[in-house]
Structure 1
């Protein structure tokens, strides 16, 4: 098949959507498909990328680390019309997603859409007023419903998201296809103990320190503040525990201020954004991956952390149903007591439970190869339905023409 992927974020950006689309392109090509990506210009992107087309873009006003591109570019549209595409797959509801919809309509192609982001969890970027926030959330639900009901099929990463879309009255076929992770990239055996110690030295971390790790976007919906709020007494009683936050985002300065006010400078460390190629080493530095987020559609960083051999201690969320087994590869929590008990069990318990080893075992099913094969099955189903629909339309047209001949 000739497939076009439309996305507002792509490699070398570091986020779940960019990673998902990058993996999908590479794996679909490995099994014989021709894949084109249409995305935004990104600082630091490679000079040459095979079958990747970028449109001029600028930082998105509300989330400045994300970019928004031109909704329609005639020059690029003329190129797309010559590619003999079989199917269009959008990964955004906005600029490039709109471009993809326009091209699908012009070329009469079937369209698949992956719903990556629960927008009602992000409305705080639009308004600080509760009454307006309720309206914004209502709009987000209606907007999502319209976007999903105007494609041939929707892909979501977890049952949690499928159930949410059903409450929005999405009536199109919804397939659950978890994004795969390049498990080899996060194999702890790739990094020597010397590599890990060298990285720890950069942040004044001692060999005997126990490292709580968060890696991802530093933003309000990730609820990192809840973890920090729980740390003053915990860290006073456990002098060798440190919390390392890897990533950047709009909440960074607020969180740094929280840390200073609680006299936790030197115990809670901010590394800022790190190059994608170094992320595996940062996971290797941790002893436990910690998150207070409930805004994830799948939680790729949880899977990456597990692939790196880290147990998880995370706020209870349905996106973790298939990967987190409390007491076996980590713990979930609903309050501060549960968070601290989970941390103690993983970091200090002598129970003999191989949390890290169990974590690695549990994510082996989420390979990038399986991800691409499952998406390919969705494409095949959509293509069959589209072929039947076109035959039906042709048959109905012939019937109408015959009636007029009489």
Structure 2
């Protein structure tokens, strides 16, 4: 098949959507399909990079309220000509703004099957737009999503949590749950010497227990809670560090909070790190932590498990089939439960250093098989519908 992927988030950007689309593109290509990616420009990417094969980078600008994110400025006439020449069999959109709209318009114009993956629960990001968070603004999110998806042939969502959100939006289009699969080879191929070097670089001793967070450092990730919980935890145990990997708009605020709480020597901020080494950063930690409830899937949780470290995370509906409470981690509900969870996991690891590392992870191959099967079903259904209409 000749497949067009349309997204405002793509490699080398670090985000769940960017990772999901990049892994999808690679999986489909490895399965023998021709994949064409339409995405935003990025000055950090090399034109010779593998990611740029059949990739169309559209001029873009930073979002006013999220400057590390970009929005494309597609010149419709120019790109419609390109899309027409590609003779695509199917369009798969992954964002609802500029590039998603380009894909949506192209699907309608060229009468192509249109699949959309809904990745982002926008109600968790309203604060970026400096408007009140209330029932009215939440209803606007539903109307926005419903308007974008009304002509789609199928909507893919990563978890049942998102199915429930789509019901609240009053979406009536067919839905299918397909989580993003991981490249298990990447996350199980650890450079242990490099992981040890990471610990040395940040002054982490061999017997320190490292709680690690890997994410975009932003308000919705609730790292302020993790830092406050960590402060309380540090009063109950010694030899612990909190390693926060990533960058984002809340970093300065969180560094100030750490200093205010007297945690400068225990809470470590690495800043942005190279995606090619991300598995080694996971391996530098002992327990993965998160208090976020904004995730639609939580790829980082699965990545941590794939590396072999257990989870200490806020209970959330997106973690069904990922977190198995007291089997591969601990789902906490509040500060005291976080502390109880840490001691539970710490005791388990003292008895068995590999505790929690035997999780079954939805793989890149599982993901590819499910997506390809879905594409085939959609194409068949659309062709049958067109055939009936032509009779």
TM-score calculated relative to the size of structure 2: 0.96
Indicate which of 34, 38, 58 corresponds to 2:61: 58
Structure 2 residue aligned with 1:252: 251
Structure 2 residue matching 1:306: 3-state secondary structure: helix
Q: Distance in 2 between matches of 1:350 and 1:39?
A: 43
> Within 5 Å, which residues of 2 pair with 1:79-228?
79-127=82-130, 129-130=132-133, 133-187=134-188, 190-192=190-192, 194-228=193-227
Structure 2 residue matching 1:81: 3-state secondary structure: helix
Equivalent residues of 1:222, 1:292 under 8 A apart? yes
Change (3 A) 1:359 1:159: farther
Q: Distance in 1 between matches of 2:118 and 2:132?
A: 27
Structure 2 residue matching 1:9: 3-state secondary structure: coil
Structure 2 residue aligned with 1:33: 33
Structure 2 residue matching 1:218: 3-state secondary structure: coil
Q: CA shift at 1:350, angstroms?
A: 6.7
1:386 and 2:382 are equivalent in the alignment: yes
- Say what the alpha-carbon RMSD is for the aligned residues: 1.5
Structure 2 residue aligned with 1:370: 366
Equivalent residues of 1:154, 1:172 under 8 A apart? yes
1:84-113 deviations in Å (ceiling 9; x for gaps): 111100000000001111111111111000
Structure 1 residue aligned with 2:229: 230
Structure 2 residue matching 1:237: 3-state secondary structure: coil
Q: Distance in 1 between matches of 2:184 and 2:358?
A: 9
Q: Distance in 2 between matches of 1:247 and 1:70?
A: 27
Q: Distance in 2 between matches of 1:235 and 1:64?
A: 35
Q: Distance in 2 between matches of 1:352 and 1:255?
A: 34
Q: CA shift at 1:128, angstroms?
A: 5.3
Tell which deviates more after alignment, 143-152 or 379-388: 143-152
Q: Distance in 1 between matches of 2:119 and 2:3?
A: 19
Structure 2 gaps of 5+ residues are: none
Indicate which of 355, 359, 362 corresponds to 1:361: 359
Q: CA shift at 1:360, angstroms?
A: 4.0
Q: Distance in 2 between matches of 1:347 and 1:271?
A: 24
Q: CA shift at 1:75, angstroms?
A: 2.3
Structure 2 residue aligned with 1:7: 7
Structure 1 residue matching 2:305: 3-state secondary structure: helix
> Within 5 Å, which residues of 2 pair with 1:290-369?
290-349=289-348, 352=351, 356-363=354-361, 366-369=362-365
1:358-389 deviations in Å (ceiling 9; x for gaps): 434322xx110110110111111111111111
Q: CA shift at 1:349, angstroms?
A: 4.3
Structure 2 residue aligned with 1:404: none
Q: Distance in 2 between matches of 1:376 and 1:113?
A: 14
Q: Distance in 2 between matches of 1:353 and 1:93?
A: 45
Q: Distance in 2 between matches of 1:351 and 1:284?
A: 17
1:188-237 deviations in Å (ceiling 9; x for gaps): x5322x32221112111111111000001111111111111112232133
Structure 1 residue matching 2:235: 3-state secondary structure: helix
Q: Distance in 1 between matches of 2:131 and 2:9?
A: 26
Q: CA shift at 1:33, angstroms?
A: 1.0
Structure 2 residue matching 1:80: 3-state secondary structure: helix
Q: Distance in 1 between matches of 2:74 and 2:349?
A: 57
Q: Distance in 1 between matches of 2:87 and 2:196?
A: 52
Q: CA shift at 1:253, angstroms?
A: 1.1
Structure 2 residue aligned with 1:265: 264
Number of corresponding residues: 388
Structure 2 residue aligned with 1:398: none
TM-score calculated relative to the size of structure 1: 0.92
Change (3 A) 1:349 1:86: closer
Change (3 A) 1:353 1:166: farther
Runs of 4+ in structure 1 over 6 Å off: none
Change (3 A) 1:321 1:74: same
Structure 1 gaps of 5+ residues are: 396-406
